[in-house]
Amino acid sequence: MALLEFSTASVEPAPTRRPNPGRLGTVWARRAIVLNVLAILALSVVWRIRDLGNIPGINGDEAWMGVQAQLLLKGEPIAWRTPTGNPLNPFSFLPQLLLHAIFSPSFTLLRVTACVSGILALVANFLLCRRLWGQPVALVSTLALAVLPIDIAYSRFAWDASQSLLATLIPLYAGLLAVAEPQFKVRWTCLALAGMAAALLVHPTNLFLFPILLVSLLHAWRHSLRAFSPSSFLAIYLAAALLIGGLVAGWPHVARIANRAGNTAELAAFSLHVARLFSGSTAFEFLSGGIAATGGAHAAYIQQTALDVLMGVLFALVAWAAIRSHRRCANPVQSSLLWGTGLALLGFYLFAGSAALAPHFERYGIWMIAPVVLIASRSAVWWMSPTTRFSRLTAPLLLLLGWSALALFHADYFAV
């Protein structure tokens, strides 16, 4: 009888729990966010490969690289410098050589390297950023890099600067990881310096990333420098050599640099061009003509004004979050990134000015995309924290911005 009672009790159904509407709502909200993130990433990849061979039309520099690959395959001499005088980019030329050895020449083939580099940049950013600052910042930064019009546009346009985003990620993250993981600082320092050398081979304007790397490595090796250990002498000599080299390179431009330092109009123009670099306006104007090609000057003015105001608001929110989060919790990695990026932007402004970011030259500013996006992503995650007033609105707003960026690219690039 006792066994029967036990067996009967053991098979009786447990009392059912009523679902918690608040919990279900949170689960569905998270699922909706994940689905939107995946959809945005997928569409950003599609935007990178759609009509790759004919939108935009092939530019001479793109064809030049393919011609060099064909000449070398035929055993004929090639030019080891580009028409602008830069050394031949091996990270673009060697893949082109391999592709032309396997496939028949085509316009699409010329852009495969740039397209793959743009997609690999997203993967590299996620993996490196997740190690540095965790998955939330990694997701936000990867999403931002995926939808920025400048990134999509130059994933479809095979100039050397098209690989700058991928090339700058290695020295940027390696330098910051040397600060975050001091037990592995030797390994990260070697990778950072090698990555910086590779980035310079991709495009010389990537040199302006070096202040971020220098600040990061000086912070990572600060204890060795204070103790004057044998390993510190190399860092001291390297920093001194770079400082002297910078002074020698900048000496012929001292008057121009001094003029820019006190020119508020030039600084305003530079700030505006930085905003338009991230909104995609300069890339659209150079590559497709933007909305002015179909909507007219009045429509272009309205859109441009709206984008400028939006970027101003976004930069202000990023700056506010960066300052507040830094005051509340001093982080050596964040300090290195903020100070290094500030010095890098100042150096670029003083040496190159606003004209270096104007349409047709916007590629010179691709080096700043990754560090600024990383700062913005860190700020966005701060806005998501429960202590902020708009924590629940931040994620939906970021998704809205992501979809809007993709829609903008379709309207001002493909549709035109």
3-state SS, residue 105: coil
Q: Report the predicted TM-score, pTM, of the whole model to 2 decimal places.
A: 0.87
Question: Would you give the DSSP letter of residue 85?
Answer: S
Q: What is the pLDDT of residue 35?
A: 94
Q: What is the pLDDT of residue 18?
A: 52
Question: Residue 28 and residue 68: Cα distance in Å, rounded?
Answer: 54
365 contacts 274 by C-beta, under 8 angstroms: yes
Distance of CA 327 to the CA centre of its chain: 25
Q: Where are the alpha helices (DSSP H) in 74-163?
A: 90-102, 107-133, 135-147, 149-154
Q: What is the pLDDT of residue 156?
A: 95
- Taking only Cα atoms into account, the Rg of the chain, rounded to an integer number of angstroms, comes to 25
Q: What is the pLDDT of residue 12?
A: 43
Task: Provide the residue type at 264 as one letter.
Answer: T
336 contacts 216 by C-beta, under 8 angstroms: yes
Q: What is the pLDDT of residue 24?
A: 47
Question: How does DSSP assign 369-410, residue by residue?
Answer: HHHHHHHHHHHHHHHHSTTSTTHHHHHHHHHHHHHHHHHHHI
Q: Closest by alpha carbon to 51, among 95, 93, 111, 96?
A: 111
Distance of CA 340 to the CA centre of its chain: 15
Distance of CA 388 to the CA centre of its chain: 26
Reading the chain (416 residues) residue by residue, the pLDDT tens digits are: 433 333 444 444 444 555 454 454 577 888 898 999 999 999 999 999 999 999 998 988 899 999 999 999 999 999 999 888 889 999 999 999 999 999 999 999 999 999 999 999 999 999 999 999 999 999 999 999 999 999 999 999 999 999 999 999 999 999 999 999 999 999 999 999 999 999 999 999 999 999 999 999 999 988 776 665 555 556 666 666 666 666 666 566 677 888 888 889 999 999 999 999 999 999 999 998 876 665 677 788 888 999 999 999 999 999 999 988 877 776 899 999 999 999 999 999 999 999 999 999 999 999 999 999 999 999 999 999 887 777 888 999 999 999 999 999 999 999 88
Question: Residue 275 and residue 310: Cα distance in Å, rounded?
Answer: 9
